[in-house]
Chain A
C-alpha cells in the first residue's frame, strides 16, 4: 500500500531534550516536506527536499533541522525543543512540486513541557 509513515505518533518531552521524528514514504517520490499545524494558523511548511541531499527552508524553519540521506526517509530533528514547538506535525511526499498530488502522513502530535 502506498503510504507515508511517521513515528512517533505522539510524543511528550521536556525543553532542551533532542528528539527526532521519522518520516518514510514507499512511493519513490522525489519531493518531501514537513509542515506544522497550529490552531488558527493553518499548515505552515518547515522544510522541504527536492531529492537526496537537497533540502531547503520553508516558511518556519527556525529550531528545526532535516536530512535527506535516502530517497525514502526525511527525518525532522529538534536539537533543543522549546514549548513553542508544541504542535501537530505532518510529513508529505509527492512526485514533484506545484500541481503534483501531495500524500500526507498521519501526523505527530508533539508536546514540549
Chain B
C-alpha cells in the first residue's frame, strides 16, 4: 500500500486555478490514484481517479507524470465553495483504503 504525502494546507483566491500535488514514491504497478473532497461536517466525496497521463471531468483535472510517483489535482477557477479538505489515495483493487490527513484548501475572496 503506497504511502502518500500532500501539503497540510493551502490558500488561494477566488477565480484562480489551484493545483494540489500528492507524492507517492512507492506506487505499485496496479495502483490507481483517487482524490476525494470533504466539506466541513460532511462525508468525503469522490472527485476524480486516474492511472496515468491526464484525466478530466466536470469538477477537476488529474495530471499524472510518466513515472507516476506524484499526481496533481487541478481545480480551475476556484470559488469560496471549493474550500474543503482534499485527500489523495493510492490503492489497487482489494487494497485496504487509508485516508490520510489531506490538504486543507482555503479559498479567500
Q: Contact residues of A with B, CB < 8 Å?
A: 4, 33, 35, 40-43, 45, 88, 90, 92, 96-107, 109
Q: Knowing A104-B44, A109-B41 touch, does A99 contact B91 (C-beta < 8 A)?
A: yes
User: Cβ of B42 < 8 Å from any Cβ of A?
Assistant: yes
Give Cα A107 to B65, complex, Å.
35
Per-position 1/0 for B85-109, Cβ under 8 A of A:
0010001111111111110000000
B41-A41 in contact (CB<8A): no
B99-A43 in contact (CB<8A): yes
Count contacts between A and B, CB distance < 8 Å.
64
Give Cα A42 to B36, complex, Å.
13
Q: Name 21 interchain pairs, CB-CB below 8 A, sorted by A.
A: A33-B97, A40-B101, A41-B101, A45-B97, A45-B99, A88-B41, A92-B43, A96-B93, A97-B93, A97-B96, A98-B32, A98-B91, A98-B93, A98-B94, A98-B95, A99-B34, A99-B92, A102-B44, A104-B43, A107-B43, A109-B41
For residue A99, which residues in chain B have a CB less than 8 angstroms away from its CB? 31-32, 34, 49, 91-93, 95
B101-A97 in contact (CB<8A): no
- The one of B43, B101, B102 in contact with A105, judged by C-beta atoms closer than 8 angstroms, is B43
Q: Knowing A99-B32, A104-B44, A107-B42 touch, does A42 contact B94 (C-beta < 8 A)?
A: no
Q: Whole-angstrom distance from the CB of B85 to the nearest CB of chain A?
A: 8
Give Cα A43 to B9, complex, Å.
16
Given contacts A92-B43, A99-B34, A99-B91, 5 further A-B contacts (CB under 8 A): A42-B102, A98-B97, A99-B32, A99-B92, A109-B41
Q: Whole-angstrom distance from the CB of A75 to the nearest CB of chain B?
A: 17
Give Cα A18 to B99, complex, Å.
28
User: Cβ of B13 < 8 Å from any Cβ of A?
Assistant: no
Q: Knowing A42-B102, A102-B36 touch, does A97 contact B97 (C-beta < 8 A)?
A: yes
User: Cβ of B54 < 8 Å from any Cβ of A?
Assistant: no
- The one of B34, B41, B49 in contact with A107, judged by C-beta atoms closer than 8 angstroms, is B41
Q: Whole-angstrom distance from the CB of A109 to the nearest CB of chain B?
A: 7
